[in-house]
Structure 1
């Protein structure tokens, strides 16, 4: 089992690896010029044993219903920035107290097909934490081992018909959880940096 200091050190080293922004369009052509870029923040929060906190979004949500996601959402007027939005949303979605979160840094933004410029906030959860999913927003909260997240070999490309055309996207399935789309693409970018 990984120790907290090792997890923290590996994540900090990954932040030092140069990397560019990513998007849902990486395998499908350029980002459309007329696509909005609404700012959003998501929290890539690792427990001290290296397990990453993920959520399964409620099926009734307007954006990305039923998908596996990092806690987070759009930047609201009261948020100072994307990091503040990610911390606020993590508290709302799974009851994570920001006082338990050590923010290590941010990864380059990811543009989503739904018009968000999503900034992943890399962090550690300090001490014991039991997620309490917010009914109506989160169906389930769970964790995935560091070894799965950090290995680029666990990611692959798939494709499906979407709005009349074929779209390619990354996936990183883990047990019953189908991690795909923007979440998988962001985590793959992190995995590549972790393997440098």
Structure 2
């Protein structure tokens, strides 16, 4: 990976509030859980390899930018690893180390900036996943990509969807990754587990963001927003007749 120290440094960006302690309300109005029996590799592959418009949550990408993070967004990509187990499918996530310059200590998908060595965002996601977690591309079946997700820190993230077969061995990069863990896909695809938070901004505005707390892990921000969009896609593709209309992109 190119040396990050050679990049121009943008101002550090962190939320001006504790995301986990802000007021929230349930975010499941008009929405229902996806039946876990539908969340199997064959059905997921059929929906996520299908071209066409992606249903997008109304909240969508954040319009708020941290001071100094305006201007053209930095291209980035992450892998959404749908890990196939004998009885279920889960999503692999990482907890970033506390000393990183961007998104320190947050729960995220493996991924990072698009570098000049990367032919496509898919190449970025696969390279970064290998570097951060040790998960080899040999175990990854790429299904497709989601629309870019714009973050408050000024990144345009392309989520790369994938199925991951079992048998892999992980070797996390201790500098970047504090933990690697999995969350059942059925938990994340149940809107009863989604929260809509509201946090105050220094200019008097209010930032809204999703969160999906799971055990000791507070999944929020862009990671939760991308998962929310994945829910809409799977709900539309596996069940149809989405109860709550969303935008298409």
TM-score by length of structure 2 reads: 0.70
Corresponding residue for residue 157 of structure 1: 196
Q: Which has the higher contact order (CA 8 A, sep 6+)?
A: 2
Corresponding residue for residue 24 of structure 1: 62
TM-score by length of structure 1 reads: 0.87
Counterpart contact for 1:101–1:123, Cα < 8 Å: yes
Counterpart contact for 2:107–2:220, Cα < 8 Å: yes
Counterpart contact for 1:15–1:107, Cα < 8 Å: no
The counterpart of 2:223, out of the listed 168, 183, 195, is: 183
Question: What is the root-mean-square deviation of aligned Cα atoms in Å?
Answer: 2.3
Classify 1:115/1:195 alpha carbon distance in 2 versus 1 (closer, same or farther; 3 Å): same
Counterpart contact for 1:151–1:195, Cα < 8 Å: no
**Over 6 Å off, 4+ runs:** none
Classify 1:102/1:19 alpha carbon distance in 2 versus 1 (closer, same or farther; 3 Å): same
Unaligned stretches of 5+ residues in structure 1: none
Distance (whole Å) between structure 1 residues aligned to residue 121 and residue 202 of structure 2: 30
Distance (whole Å) between structure 2 residues aligned to residue 130 and residue 147 of structure 1: 24
Output one character per residue of 1:59-88: Cα deviation in whole Å (capped at 9) or x when no partner.
Answer: 010110000000000001100111100100
Count of paired positions: 189
Corresponding residue for residue 133 of structure 1: 172
Matched, 1:55 2:55: no
Distance (whole Å) between structure 2 residues aligned to residue 75 and residue 177 of structure 1: 27
Equivalent residue of 1:114, what SS? coil
